[in-house]
């Protein structure tokens, strides 16, 4: 009966993440995003990792603290397709667009990382359909808005190979398709 509380008297208690939890979560995130055959290389950019790391650490600590990380799947790694799908979902929610542009109006949004696009720019011999593999934002002191340039690539086997770089937004038509696994 000592643990029974009146609703008005309930207090929220808790503790911040420990260094050990942060370290374990960081190790797990790096393991999940490691490129097969090269554990020091990641399948996603550092920017993406830094974006998801706080949420991953939070989820990790919550799972450990609630006991939801039982032995049922101990030693069984998460498959690459599930990890890729999680990053694609984050991308599908347009997190990259919101961060890069500082706006949330879909009609003004350009393509996202790992989205399929049609290139129709000045390099006519390179016209075709590609994946956006990088978005670069450059400061514009006049408008105070970033100027975005896109790097495009194509899949050759399981490798994304750069084809066209430094592409302007007007040279692209986004396609509603995202890369979910390499």
88-103 pLDDT, tens digit per residue, is: 666 544 454 554 444 4
Residues 72 and 111 in one domain: no
Residues 108 and 161 in one domain: yes
Residues 118 and 169 in one domain: yes
Task: Tell me the per-residue pLDDT of 92-150, one tens digit each, with 9 for 90 and over.
Answer: 444 545 544 444 444 456 788 888 999 999 999 999 999 999 888 877 666 566 788 99
Residues 71 and 114 in one domain: no
Residues 160 and 122 in one domain: yes
Residues 21 and 70 in one domain: yes
Task: Tell me the per-residue pLDDT of 142-176, one tens digit each, with 9 for 90 and over.
Answer: 656 678 899 999 988 888 899 999 999 999 999 88
Residues 108 and 73 in one domain: no
Structural domain harbouring 160: 104-178
* Residue where one domain finishes, among candidates 33, 62, 78: 78
Would 89 be classed as within a structural domain?
Answer: no
Q: Can you give the pTM of this predicted structure? A: 0.45
The contacts of residue 167 (CB under 8 Å, 6+ apart) are 119, 121, 149, 150, 151, 152
pLDDT band of residue 75 (cuts 50, 70, 90) is low
Would 54 be classed as within a structural domain?
Answer: yes
Would 85 be classed as within a structural domain?
Answer: no
Predicted confidence at residue 91, as pLDDT, reads 55
Predicted confidence at residue 152, as pLDDT, reads 95
Residues 69 and 117 in one domain: no
pLDDT band of residue 4 (cuts 50, 70, 90) is very low
Residues 160 and 115 in one domain: yes
Q: Is the pLDDT of residue 87 over 60?
A: yes
Residues 65 and 108 in one domain: no
Predicted confidence at residue 177, as pLDDT, reads 85
pLDDT band of residue 1 (cuts 50, 70, 90) is very low
Residues 109 and 74 in one domain: no
Would 140 be classed as within a structural domain?
Answer: yes
Would 93 be classed as within a structural domain?
Answer: no
């Amino acid at each position: 009966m000592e643990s029974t509380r009146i609703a008005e008297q309930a207090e929220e208690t808790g503790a911040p993440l420990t260094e050990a939890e942060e370290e374990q979560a960081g190790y797990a995130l790096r393991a999940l995003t490691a490129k097969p055959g090269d554990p020091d290389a990641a399948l996603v950019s550092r920017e993406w990792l830094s974006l998801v790391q706080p949420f991953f650490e939070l989820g990790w600590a919550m799972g450990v603290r609630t006991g939801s990380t039982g032995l049922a799947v101990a030693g069984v790694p998460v498959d690459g397709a599930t990890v890729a799908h999680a990053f694609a979902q984050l991308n599908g929610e347009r997190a990259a667009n919101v961060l890069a542009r500082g706006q949330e109006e879909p009609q003004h949004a350009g393509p996202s990382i790992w989205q399929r696009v049609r290139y129709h720019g000045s390099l006519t011999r390179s016209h075709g359909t590609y994946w956006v593999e990088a978005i670069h934002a450059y400061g514009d002191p006049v408008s105070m808005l970033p100027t975005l340039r896109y790097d495009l690539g194509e899949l050759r086997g399981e490798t994304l190979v750069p084809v066209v770089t430094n592409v302007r937004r007007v040279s692209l038509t986004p396609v509603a398709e995202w890369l979910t696994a390499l």
